[in-house]
Amino acid sequence: MRVTAYIPCFNGARYLPATITAILGQTQPPDELLIIDDGSTDNSSEVASRYPVRIIRHEKNKGLAAARNTALANAKYDLLAAFDVDAVAEPTWLQYLFEAFRDEQIAGAGGRLVENFREDPPDLWRAMQLSQDLGETSIEMIWPTPKRLGGFGVVYRVEVLRKLGGYDERFRTNYEDVDLCARVLEAGHKALFDPRAVMRHMRRDSFSSVLRTSWRWEFYTHYFNGGYNNIALKLLFNFRLARVLVWQHARAGCFSLLPLDATLPFVHSYHDVRYGSSRERLPHLIPHPDSTIYELYFPWPLRQRRKSRMQG
């Protein structure tokens, strides 16, 4: 089997040299490398052109899922390996994941994402609260496991992705990877998490950027659990979550994270209110009776009463 690798890139010029160099330096390098420039306004295409890559440019920003679909449509080979622009793969990353495809039932394989920076409070907060690392033990994923491969670095069979229609472009900036992996597993394929395959996340965050990212990162989890059916309850959840985080971080001695915890409910509530009053608000979902909506959004005195009413 041969491998097409790609990097979806939106204003990622500062990361590209390290990311591309790591891909080309793999012990088992890909057979081609695509750079999907998703309407960047920086010099991403100019930086990428210094390397032996094929650049495909969107004239305007279409979102991460669309960039991934462009790579899928242009892939020449059997396997498609995704590398996020700010994630640097260790030299054996592709070699280890390639081994998984000796099993014909395996449709996808991925590894660990280790945060490279933890010294500053925003980066430490991201590492603790937004971790995508599944640990140090190999996991074979078979439906209906809740485990999912992350999009930051994953290899899939091209044929399988094309049969499933690729990535869902409704998920512009996140959740597209979770959704795709779920559909792969539900279709009867297997996926493998191999902890030997390691990527290092080179992102650095500020107070505002990490809290904004956390809101986007958790948006669809809340949406699919009915969290946006009642914005007031979602706002209440934000403050309850902050209380939990303050307690957890204080007990762990991570006192530098407390200002972030205290700011989180105000940042998330701001984005919730903007979303709730926007024209782009999605239709309400009726959650399954076993959904976490009761535990997450309703205060304890109302929880059982509300659950009984909805089930009745």
CB contact burial 129-156 (16+ within 10 A = b; e otherwise): beebbbeeeeeebeeeeeebbbbbbbbb
pLDDT value at position 288? 66
Does the pLDDT at position 122 exceed 90?
yes
**pLDDT tier for residue 35 given thresholds of 50, 70 and 90:** very high
Does the pLDDT at position 152 exceed 80?
yes
Query: Counting beta carbons within 10 angstroms of the beta carbon of residue 97, is it exposed (0 to 12), middle (13 to 18) or buried (19 or more)?
Result: buried
What percentage of the chain exceeds 70 in pLDDT? Answer: 94
Distances in Å between the Cα of 203 and the Cα atoms of 40, 48, 87, 197, 293 are 18, 19, 8, 19, 32
Distances in Å between the Cα of 91 and the Cα atoms of 21, 133, 193, 204, 239 are 10, 18, 17, 22, 43
pLDDT value at position 79? 98
Average confidence score pLDDT of the chain: 94
CA 46 to chain centre: 27
Does the pLDDT at position 312 exceed 70?
no
**pLDDT tier for residue 269 given thresholds of 50, 70 and 90:** very high
pLDDT value at position 226? 86
Distances in Å between the Cα of 311 and the Cα atoms of 178, 223, 303 are 28, 20, 12
Does the pLDDT at position 296 exceed 70?
yes
Name residues whose C-beta falls within 8 Å of residue 288's C-beta, 6 or more positions apart in sequence. Answer: none
CA proximity to 210, closest of 86, 115, 114, 124 = 124
* Dist. CA 61–CA 63, nearest whole Å: 6
Identity at 261, one-letter amino acid code: D
What pTM does this model have?
0.91
Name residues whose C-beta falls within 8 Å of residue 81's C-beta, 6 or more positions apart in sequence. Answer: 3, 4, 5, 6, 30, 94, 97, 153, 154, 155
* Dist. CA 118–CA 85, nearest whole Å: 19
For the chain, which domains are there? 3-201 (3.90.550.10), 207-311 (no CATH)
Does the pLDDT at position 310 exceed 60?
no
If you ran DSSP here, which 8-state letter would residue 63 be given? -
| Token pair recorded at residue 67 | 């960039």
Average pLDDT over residues 75-96: 98
Tens digits of residue pLDDT in 44-75: 999 999 999 999 999 999 999 999 999 999 99
